[in-house]
Each structure stands twice: as structure tokens, then as C-alpha cells.
Structure 1
């Protein structure tokens, strides 16, 4: 998981960046990487570090899907945690294509970021949804959702991924959110 990078010293984050896990989830992924590294000489292992991704059908326990769902239902208020965060947000279809290509690549014993190479703020996701849905709900910071160990910005370099599998088309934020919004509206209707 890209969460192992924590609050990186520079962005976009390349695979050689020093991991700085900030929470138990990131630490567990970092520990697994350490175990896998021991097997690099014996097995054809390729370790991926996926950044955030979303798409139609994602559970609303994930913030981006939660936001789209609230807009699809016409909610007047959305309760969120930290608003001043940015993430490398990919469309799930892009991520699937990346994994499919990695399965047939010749590289082994390496780490590869699965990311779009762009930093998208949570507030820009809300602004894009305002354009799609045609209204602006009240956004409330709920202390119950605020994380003290939140990573402020997490976005990666896709250069090594593209060098390994060739160029991949990165869907725009608008395309991704619109497809999610339309799916949620259809499910409700």
C-alpha cells in the first residue's frame, strides 16, 4: 500500500522514497514488504503499492464513494473528517488495467507504484461533484471522522509503472466521479 510512504519529504513519491508509516495499517503493509523482500531471490515477486482508487460500486465506507453517494441522494449536508488532504486518486478501471499488464511483465524483485501521478484535493472532489449534481451541500467537519495520524498529501510517480507496462490512459476526475454518480442514481431509481 502507498500508505507506507506516510508524509513523504517530496512529491510525487517514487518507489525509492524512504517509507514513513504513520498508522497501524501502513505499518502492517511495511512489515509484509520486509518479509517479501527476503523471498525476492527465490521467487518471481513483484510488489505493488497502490494509491487511492475509486469507481462505480465502491462501498460508501470509503470517503470518495461516500461523497458521491450523498450527492446522488441530494443530501443537504455531508459530514467528513479532515478536509485539507490530497490523494493520488485513480479510477478502478485504470488500476485493473495496470494489474493485468503487470501480470505479464518480465520484472521481478521490485516495488511499483500503482497511481495516476496527480494530486487531487478532497475539496476539488466536492467542487467537481457540485458541477455534476448541480447543487452545493453544507460540508461539516465531524470530529468523529478526524484522524490525528492523517497523511496530508499522498501522491505518487507513475513513471516506473509506465516504463514497465507502457502508457495507460488515466481517466479524468470528472469521468470517474460522473460514472460513480450515474451508477448510484440508477441504483436508487
Structure 2
């Protein structure tokens, strides 16, 4: 049976086996879409796509003719050791994917490209809006900024929307990321934990909210837009620890490890959800405490 005839559309998802990708694929499948998951390596659940290869991008777009594309594939760990990889994957890889659509003459109904709030760098002082000047302070942020500038050159040729997600978390996120690391220590009832700057403040969302927002933005009419994916509520690292102490019923000993304090640490990062709320009314948003409870009780 041809799944095109009875689905909401065919969606190509890059980075489908990553933390975000798994939730986005589930969200899309539950909504009736025919999901085409891709990943760097072969598996029974996805097709192989190395976005660093222009030829591979053209072959996949031509073969599958997706109605929509959700582009999530990226190097996302800020402390990743290989500087060159940030630009090869995050910027050039995205360029290859968009160019491939043009080269094979296939224009999807919507392409969603995930950027990052790290493009703002050390900007602080109230909520950040989408027209805020971007000034990244690390290679991850710089590679995403380069990607955004490149993607914007396609606004008049492809129905493209760029998302800037702020921090988000949930079950299944790798322990190298901060919130899962803290949650894991409490789940194992560890007596102590080593952390960096306890006063860093972040805008946290639930990964399920992010997946819902991505689907809704695909279905909406907005194009040639940059949209924050955020809650608008800042939380200090101390707040995360305090909430988990209440959930776990004990206090943990915190040691500040200077090795975990980056010289170019972004101190405060909180976004305005105004545009997102306008484009996606009724977006389901668990509280951060509900998200932490969900992770802790896994």
C-alpha cells in the first residue's frame, strides 16, 4: 500500500536517532504523518544520510520526495572537542540539504531548521526577542549563527522556518548534559555531585513541548521566520538542585569544580515566547518541576 494516500504527509527527519529526533518522530507519527527517519549510520529504524555529503543529500531528497523536512542533525554538545566538525555539520551540512532540494527540483511544503539560542552568546538583561543582535561566544553558537545567515539566503526560494530553541530536557537526554547528570545523581542517591557555576540561569522547556511546537510550525503558514522555542522563565542551577532535593527527599553535597566553569560561560539566557505563543496557540507546556519529576521517576 502506498502510505502517501492515507497519511498527513511524508516528513524527512534528519538526526532522527538523537534525543530530540526520537520525540519529534513520535509526535509526527502520532499525528498521522509518514515519517522518514535518517541518521549518520545504518539501522533498522532509519535510512543513512550523511548531510556533510552533497551527493547523499541529493540522492535522499530525490528518492523520497518529502512533503516536509525537519532538520535536527547537528553537533550539539558545546564542549565537543573537534572545532571543525561544528561548521562541517551544522553550517555546511544544512547548506547541502537546502541546496539538494533546489538541485533535484523538489520544494517541500515546509522545511524546519533547528538553530540554537546559543547564537546570542553572553547577552543578558531581560527577555531576548528574535530581533536581538546575535553574538556567539563559542564554536557551537558560531556554527549555528553561520547556518542561520546561510539559511536566510533561501527564504525567497524555499518555505523555510528557523527555530532557536533555548535549553530543554527530558527522559533519554545524554548524561553529558547538565540536567540529566543532576537527575541521575539523585536517582542513584549519590551523596555528592561536582558542578560548575551554580548561578548560571537558563530558560528550560520540556522536550515534549519542543516536539509539539515543531509539528505545529510545520503545519502553520509561517515561513521566512526565526522563532524562539522557550518558556520565558529563567531557572538557576541552584533551583534545579533544590527541586530535585525535594523530589528525592534528601540534600546532596555540591562541590564546584573549576574545570566545569567555562571562561566564556553564558550567564543568563532567557527568551521571549511571544512569537511562539502567537504561531502555536495552546502549546502544552509542563512546568519545569513536572519535567524534572518525569525524568526522576523514569
TM-score by length of 2: 0.60
Ranges in structure 2 where 5+ consecutive residues have no aligned partner: 1-115
Return the alpha-carbon distance in structure 2 between the equivalents of residues 3 and 179 of structure 1.
Answer: 26
Q: How many matched pairs?
A: 183
What secondary structure sits across from 1:42 in the alignment?
Answer: coil
**Structure 1 equivalent of residue 295 of structure 2:** 180
What secondary structure sits across from 2:148 in the alignment?
Answer: helix
What secondary structure sits across from 1:103 in the alignment?
Answer: helix
**Structure 1 equivalent of residue 158 of structure 2:** 43
What secondary structure sits across from 1:75 in the alignment?
Answer: coil
1:95-134 equivalence runs, <5 A: 95-134=210-249
What secondary structure sits across from 2:129 in the alignment?
Answer: coil
Return the alpha-carbon distance in structure 2 between the equivalents of residues 9 and 55 of structure 1.
Answer: 25
Residue 124 of structure 2 contacts residue 267 of structure 2 at CA under 8 Å; is this kept in 1? no
Residue 8 of structure 1 contacts residue 17 of structure 1 at CA under 8 Å; is this kept in 2? no
Cα shift at 1:138: 0.6
Cα shift at 1:9: 4.5
Return the alpha-carbon distance in structure 1 between the equivalents of residues 163 and 142 of structure 2.
Answer: 16
**Structure 2 equivalent of residue 186 of structure 1:** none
Deviations 1:25-52 (A, max 9, x none): 1000000001011111111110000111
**Structure 2 equivalent of residue 12 of structure 1:** 127
Return the alpha-carbon distance in structure 2 between the equivalents of residues 98 and 13 of structure 1.
Answer: 19
TM-score by length of 1: 0.94
What secondary structure sits across from 2:212 in the alignment?
Answer: helix
Return the alpha-carbon distance in structure 2 between the equivalents of residues 170 and 127 of structure 1.
Answer: 21
Cα shift at 1:10: 3.3
Deviations 1:68-101 (A, max 9, x none): 0000001011001111101000011111111110
The question of 1:68 aligning with 2:183 is answered yes
Return the alpha-carbon distance in structure 2 between the equivalents of residues 77 and 9 of structure 1.
Answer: 31
**Structure 1 equivalent of residue 207 of structure 2:** 92
**Larger Cα Rg: Structure 1 or Structure 2?**
2
Return the alpha-carbon distance in structure 1 between the equivalents of residues 225 and 288 of structure 2.
Answer: 29
Q: Would you identify which runs of 4 or more consecutive aligned residues in structure 1 move more than 3 Å? A: none
Ranges in structure 1 where 5+ consecutive residues have no aligned partner: 184-189
Match of 1:138 among 239, 249, 253: 253
Higher relative contact order (CA 8 A, sep 6+): 1
Cα shift at 1:145: 1.2
The question of 1:161 aligning with 2:295 is answered no
What secondary structure sits across from 2:297 in the alignment?
Answer: helix
**Structure 2 equivalent of residue 25 of structure 1:** 140
**Structure 1 equivalent of residue 104 of structure 2:** none
* Structure 1 residues 167 and 11, CA gap change in structure 2 (3 angstroms): farther
Cα shift at 1:169: 2.6
Return the alpha-carbon distance in structure 1 between the equivalents of residues 170 and 235 of structure 2.
Answer: 15
